[in-house]
Amino acid sequence: MTVAIEKPETTGPAAPEAPAREVRKVNRTTVVAGILVAWLVLFFVLRGKQTLTLATADLTDLHRWFNDVNDSVGANRNSNPLFLYFFNEIRLVIDNLVTFVQHLISQPPPGRPLPQIGWLGVVGIAGYVSWAVGNWRVALLAVAGFTFFGLQGLWQESMDTLALTISAVFVALLFAIPLGIWAGLSDRFNGIVTPFLDFMQTMPTFVYLAPLTLIFLIGPASATIATVIYAAPPAIRITAHAIRSVPETTAEAADSLGATRRQTLQKVLLPMSKRTVVMGVNQSIMAALAMVTIAALIDAPGLGKTVVQALQSLDVGTAFNAGLAIVVMAIVLDRVTTAASTREENARRSKNRFLKWRNPLLGAGAVVAAVLIYLSHTYVWAADFPGDGTVGSHIASAADSVTNWAQDNLSGLTNAIRDVITNVLLNPFQSLLTDSPWWLVGLVLVALAVVLGGWKAGVTTAVCVGLLVGTGVWSDAMTTTASTLVATVLVMVLGIVFGVWMGRSMLVDRLVRPTLDAAQVMPPFVYLVPFLALFGATRFTAIVAAVVYAAPVAIKIIADGVRAVPEATVEAATSAGSNTRQIITKVQLPMSRSALTLATNQGLIYVLSMVVVGGLVGAGALGYDVVAGFSQGELYGKGLAAGLAIVLLGVMFDRITQAAARRTGA
Amino acid sequence: MTPTQTEVAQRRGTPEESDGTPVISVRKLWKVFGPKADRVPDSEELCGLTRRELMDRTGCTAAVRDVSFDVAPGEVFVVMGLSGSGKSTLVRCLTRLIEPTAGEVVFEGQDIRQADDKRLRDLRRSKFSMVFQHFGLLPHRRVVDNVCFGLEIRGMGRAERTKRALEVVELVGLSGYENSYPDQLSGGMQQRVGLARALAGDPDVLFFDEPFSALDPLIRRDMQNEVIRLHHEVGKTMVFITHDLSEALKLGDRILIMRDGKMVQCGTGDELVGAPADDYVSEFVKDVPRGEVLTLRWIMRAPEDQDALDGPELGPDVIVREATRTVLAAHRPVKVVENGKLLGIVGDEEILSVVAGQEGGA
């Protein structure tokens, strides 16, 4: 095997001539097929040996050690100087911030029956701020959305989620924007942070939680810190990108006029990147919202908690109601921040007709908002949302009846789909992975990594495999891998079908893209709810949710790749008499090969993070281990190990697919 | 190429220089990109390599190699070359937007390379300004605010700088567009904004980096005329980069031709056409209508015994096209006279060979 896989590497990196590449490609496919066949053969021979299975309640030494660490950290939290003067301080500051914001809008402060600002005040602020930074349309949307939370009977939960999101975004931006500017200005710093950011974004959201609880305890502080960690990278990245994409001539022009560095930054770079930076804030807020809901697993208050509790008791109606609130909040926050990023430009275009009215109107609006805040601070009717959330219970019962109807009437269809995919794809693949000896699977993974991604990817994979074995949850990791890979295959099928379709037709693109954009805005949790209704609590539910979660990214990347194929090439193929199928298979797909590998990479990572969330609805394996670790003390260590295993899987898949993408792109 | 260098050196002593010290004097300027770029200009051996060889040997690219020239006050000095010839790097080296590797750039008797950051900023704020190919305007500022940007940087008060900006906006013919944003203007108008911004600070020297390459031909012609008009009105020294020979001939008092970072020839338009330094230059100027560029100096011949010397008189710097009618109308050869001294004569034969054919002259 080793002889065969050496070949691609030698011809690999630089093979400028077309014939050479052709030869190499054939070779690589053959080698991959050879590896797979060898695996199958050995699988039948060695089936069931050295599979490293571990029963749900069993622990390894590592897990017990993690437990001990957890216990000792718990015991010494208030005596160890590192905790006393560093971690505890951080927790205290964050805790105070979160409590402060919570007392403002969601939780009653001591001595008051209700929060400082009641619903009327919050709705007023939401409307006013949306109008001030965006426009009156998003202001209406914000008012309607916030009122809807009240009608759903989820006012306090929504405000908790909002409070956590606001606190986390505030802290995240406090760090992220200066760091982003620095990374934008300095190549060296950019080089240092980029790998960190890559790594942070590759890791499934879930994974931050376990180690953080070790240090910061369970609760809002940990949740906020996890959210900060998750929400900062996009803002850093986008800010740096914004600074970097200011045209060189413009900065040079400022230079040539004798501007100092500070003047160039203040008068040229920052104003010109403002719009993009606001997009970064948008991304940061969306990431924070997604994370805050997931942080419900470590006892963060808010809508996420409602969803988690409902999911665990398979109460689809309640889960749907709360999920809907999350979606509404996501849409409101997204629209408002998007409007904020385009406002200035639009204002400039609109001939400045209302410009002189703007400031007086803003002032008047501020007065109105202040009056509403005062009212909601003083009077109960303006503080406590009236009604008892009947709309919410209607929504819940409607969702329940739809679920029942679906289960009664569609179960034939959904079960058929589920069974086909489970029996034809999932089960055989899963048993292939879990029933092979661990060293065989490891060998295959390393071999594939070398063939597809080169030696470096192979080494990374070998290290990851070794560490995976070390975590003691190898078997669960393989089960998760099976689900992940099956889901990724489905994502790629969807991605290619829709991506090619969108890439070829502007009309389809225009129709489908907004839906995809909207889907990407949703926190991943929300996807579980409808599929739980359709497919019940199984592995398959998690897979479908993951496919739906990951497909938009893959579709968009592939569509952009297909669109990027030069018009002239397609025209040349058409004029040579190709039919549509030939154009797609011989021109557009091969030429967007690097987009395909990138889509696979992103698809895998998205699927992985979702399959883990699927642990909540019966996906089992690593996801279950993590969730169980949060709730049961004696499984804490195993949960932590499972979290590590998820990171390792993520890193491994990411390195292999990225290396493969670089190769095909070269 | 060495003989060319010496020839260039001699030709640099053209009459323009004699009426005052040069504004900018460039001596043995080098710009090398790449690792340990410093060693290249110092090493006799590395200097001799071609670009490709240097790249293979050291991983360095020599964008500007041993360039020397003077720019006289009030002159329009054009640097011409194809893309990749190093002309844009050269002009950036003059104001140290790109740091030169070796050589001197003397401005007002001082080597700019020795200036510290503050001095350099002061020079850029008050003595130099530059017009860029892709304009480099600030999209978030109105035209007038773009124009006063340089003044703002200097710390001039708002009222004063706005007043000055409005004057310059008027000068470049943008009145009425003061409050527009750059992206609401056409390419030509955006470049007028760039021009106004450069003029606002009342600099001594204006640098143009292919300012009209991004514009379409008709607008380009307008803008060239605009520059000629401004040169007449404000009389600034200009260093103008272009890849377009006709633009160079139209605007330039003197033209420096660059190839692969080296200077090939430096001289007036008629010198380039009349006496190209090598095949590269003659290939360049092949399609130039010679009658439009050459002067009588280039086509006159020494009088011979049988020539009648009582024809009309013309100066040696009269362009051939303008002399054509006179020469053809006269029955005798035209005498080329400078300061009462007979330099030579021009007959129908000489005129026709230039106007009708392409051969002869060189």
Q: Do B134 and A348 touch (CB under 8 A)?
A: no
Q: Which residue has the tokens 């009947």?
A: A390
B23: distance to nearest CA of chain A, Å? 18
The pLDDT of A7-29, averaged and rounded, is 47
DSSP secondary structure string for all residues of A45-95: HHTTSS-----TT---HHHHHHHHHHHHHHHHTTT-HHIIIIIHHHHHHHH
Contacts of B130 in chain A (CB under 8 A): 253, 256
Residues whose CB falls within 8 Å of the CB of residue A409, separated by 6 or more in sequence, listed in order:
none
| Amino acid found at B206 | L
Which residue from A249, A257, A260 is facing B134, i.e. has the nearest CB? A249
Report the relative pairing of strands B205-209 and B24-33 from DSSP bridges.
unpaired
Q: Which residues contact A72 (CB under 8 A, 6 or more apart)?
A: none
Beta carbon pairs, A and B, within 8 Å:
67
Helix axes A206-216, A88-105, angle to 10 degrees: 110
- Tell me the per-residue pLDDT of B240-260, one tens digit each, with 9 for 90 and over: 999 988 888 888 899 999 988
**Phi and psi dihedrals of A389, rounded to 5?**
70, 40
B120-141 confidence digits (pLDDT tens): 888 888 888 899 888 888 888 8
Comparing A68-72, A325-329, B218-222, which segment has the lowest mean pLDDT? A68-72
Lowest mean pLDDT among A89-103, A608-622, B94-108: A608-622
pLDDT over 60 (residue A650) = yes
With a cut of 90, say whether residue B77 has pLDDT above it.
Answer: yes
pLDDT at A665: 61
Q: Find chain B residues with C-beta within 8 A of A258's C-beta.
A: 120-126, 150, 153-154
What are the chain A neighbours of B95 within 8 Å (beta carbons)? 256
Query: For residues A228 and B291, what is the distance between their CA atoms, to the nearest angstrom?
Result: 74
Which residues in chain A touch residue B123, judged by CB atoms under 8 angstroms apart?
258
Q: Is there a contact between A272 and B137 if contact means CB atoms under 8 Å apart?
A: no
Residue B88 has pLDDT above 50, yes or no: yes
Of the candidate ranges A273-282, A587-596, B157-166, the one whose mean pLDDT is the lowest: A587-596
Question: Where is pLDDT greater, at A342 or A156?
Answer: A156
Interface residue of B123, B127, B133, B140 to substitute, partner A, most A CBs within 10 Å: B140
Higher pLDDT, A459 or B356: A459
Contact A344 B140 (CB under 8 A): yes
Q: How confident is the model at residue A352 (pLDDT cuts 50, 70, 90)?
A: low
* Residue of A246, A248, A256 for testing the chain B interface, max B β-carbons within 10 Å: A256
Average pLDDT, chain B: 83
pLDDT of res. B17: 41
Adjacency order of strands within the sheet including B341-346? B313-314, B334-338, B341-346
Pick the residue from chain A with its C-alpha nearest to B124. Answer: A258
pLDDT at A6 over 50: no
Site from A246, A257, A269, A346 to mutate, B interface, most B CB atoms within 10 angstroms:
A257
More confident site: A661 or A23: A661
Cα–Cα dist B296/B354, whole Å: 10
Say yes or no for a CB contact (<8 Å) between A250 and B122. no
8 A C-beta contact, residue B355 and residue B328 = no
Name the pLDDT band for A15 (thresholds 50, 70, 90): very low
Is B135 in contact with A259 (Cβ distance < 8 A)? no
Which among B133, B150, B181 has the least Cβ separation from residue A257? B150
Instruction: State the CATH class of domain A80-113+155-350.
Output: mainly alpha
Going by C-alpha positions, the residue among A458, A466, A443, A457 that lies closest to residue A35 is A443
How sure is the predictor about B51, in pLDDT bands with cuts at 50, 70 and 90? confident
Nearest to B95 among A256, A260, A348 (CB): A256
CA distance, residue A188 to nearest chain B CA (Å) = 17
Instruction: Report the residue from B134, B136, B153 with minimal CB separation from A263.
Output: B153
Query: In the predicted model, is pLDDT for residue B18 greater than 50?
Result: no
Compute the average pLDDT of residues B217-223. Answer: 87
Question: What does the alpha-carbon distance between residue B359 and residue B348 come to, in Å, rounded to a whole number?
Answer: 15
Per-residue burial over A527-547, b = 16 or more CB atoms within 10 Å of its CB, e = otherwise? bbbbbbbbbbbbbbbbbbbbb
pLDDT reading at A343 higher than 50: yes
For the record, the structure tokens of A263 come out as 């003047």
Domain boundaries, chain A: 49-62+411-438+473-665, 80-113+155-350
Q: Do A258 and B121 touch (CB under 8 A)?
A: yes
Higher local confidence (pLDDT), B361 or B261? B261
Q: Kindly indicate the confidence band of residue A322, based on its pLDDT and cuts at 50, 70 and 90.
A: confident
Flag if B97 and A252 touch (Cβ within 8 Å): yes
Contact residues, chain B, for A261 at CB < 8 Å: none
Chain A residues within 8 A of B150 when measuring between CB atoms = 257-258
Residues of A in contact with B124 (CB under 8 A): 255-258
pLDDT at A206: 67
Search chain A and give the residue with CA nearest B197.
A257
**Contact call for residues B132 and A253 (beta carbons, < 8 A):** yes
Which of 3.40.50.720, 1.10.10.10, 1.10.3720.10, 1.10.357.10 would CATH assign to domain A49-62+411-438+473-665? 1.10.3720.10
| Mean pLDDT of the A30-58 span | 78
- Using the predicted structure, report yes or no on whether residue B7 has a pLDDT greater than 50: no
Q: Give the gap in angstroms from C-alpha B48 to the nearest C-alpha of chain A.
A: 31
* pLDDT over 50 at A7, yes or no: no
What's the Cα-to-Cα distance from A291 to each of A284, B67, B81, rounded to whole Å?
10, 60, 57
pLDDT digit string (tens) for A585-606? 888 888 888 788 888 888 888 8
Give the tens place of pLDDT for each residue, A148-158.
888 888 888 89
Q: Which of residues 93-152 of B touch A (CB under 8 A)?
A: 95, 97, 120-126, 128-130, 132-140, 149-150, 152
Q: What is the pLDDT of residues A164-213, one digit of tens each?
A: 999 999 999 999 999 999 998 988 998 888 888 877 776 766 667 777 77
Phi and psi at B19, nearest 5°, equal -90, 35
The pLDDT assigned to A354 comes to: 62
Question: Across the interface, do A256 and B97 touch by the CB < 8 Å criterion?
Answer: yes
Domains A49-62+411-438+473-665 and A80-113+155-350 share a fold: yes
Instruction: Give the residue, A113 or A180, on which the prediction is more confident.
Output: A180
Q: Measure CB to CB from residue A247 to each of B129, B136, B149 and give the nearest one.
A: B136
Indicate yes or no: CB of B124 within 8 angstroms of CB of A258.
yes
Q: Among residues of chain A, what percentage have pLDDT more than 90? A: 7
Contact: B132, A252; criterion CB under 8 Å: yes
Task: State the average pLDDT for chain A.
Answer: 81
Rounded to an integer, what distance in angstroms lies between the CA atom of residue A125 and that of residue A141? Answer: 13
Q: What is the separation, in whole angstroms, between the first and last Cα of chain B?
A: 19
Residues of A in contact with B125 (CB under 8 A): 257-258
- A249, A258, A260 member nearest B132 (Cβ): A249
Domains and CATH numbers, chain B: 71-99+115-127+203-288 (3.40.50.300), 292-355 (3.90.1280.20)
Q: What is the pLDDT of residues B322-354, one digit of tens each?
A: 888 888 888 788 888 888 788 888 887 788 877
pLDDT recorded at residue A20: 43
Instruction: Specify burial of residue B12 (Cβ count, 10 A radius: 0-12, 13-18, 19+).
Output: middle
- Which tens digit of pLDDT belongs to each residue from A527-539? 777 777 777 777 7
More confident: A69 or A333? A333
In chain A, whose CA is at the least distance from the CA of B131? A253
The Cα of A23 is separated from the nearest Cα of chain B by a number of Å equal to 30
Which contacts qualify for A3-8: CB closer than 8 Å, 24 or more apart? A4/A31, A4/A34, A5/A31, A5/A447, A5/A450, A5/A451, A7/A31, A8/A451, A8/A454
Q: How far is B255 from chain A (nearest CA, A)?
A: 24
Chain A residues with beta carbon closer than 8 angstroms to that of B152: 267
Calculate mean pLDDT across residues A562-568: 83
Residues of B in Cβ contact (< 8 Å) with A260: 121, 153
Q: Can you give the pLDDT at residue A335?
A: 86
Q: Which chain A positions have a beta carbon within 8 Å of B197's beta carbon?
A: 253, 257
Selection from A619, A647, A487, A465 nearest residue A52 by Cα: A465
Contact A250 B137 (CB under 8 A): yes
Q: Which of A296-310, A455-469, A609-623 has the lowest mean pLDDT?
A: A609-623
Q: Give the residue from chain A lying closest to B121, CA to CA.
A: A258
pLDDT value at position A137?
Answer: 87
Residue A143: predicted pLDDT: 92
Residue B213 at interface with chain A, using a CB cutoff of 8 Å = no
Check CB contact of B153 with chain A, cutoff 8 Å: yes
Q: What is the pLDDT of residues B286-327, one digit of tens each?
A: 888 877 788 888 888 888 777 777 778 888 888 888 888 888
Q: Do A267 and B149 touch (CB under 8 A)?
A: yes
Using the beta-carbon criterion (under 8 Å), do A272 and B125 form an inter-chain contact? Answer: no
Which of A203-207, B30-34, B75-79 has the least mean pLDDT?
A: A203-207
Taking alpha carbons only, the member of A517, A493, A513 closest to residue A505 is A513
Q: Which residue(s) pair with A624 in the sheet?
A: none
pLDDT at A443 over 80: yes
Q: Is A249–B135 a contact, with Cβ atoms under 8 angstroms apart? A: yes
Percent of chain B scored above 70 by pLDDT?
93
**Residues of chain A whose C-beta is under 8 A from some C-beta in B?**
247, 249-250, 252-260, 263, 267-268, 271-272, 274, 344, 348
Contact B121 A256 (CB under 8 A): no
Q: What angle do CA B58, B62, B68 make, to 5 degrees?
A: 140
Q: Which residues of B touch A355 (CB under 8 A)?
A: none
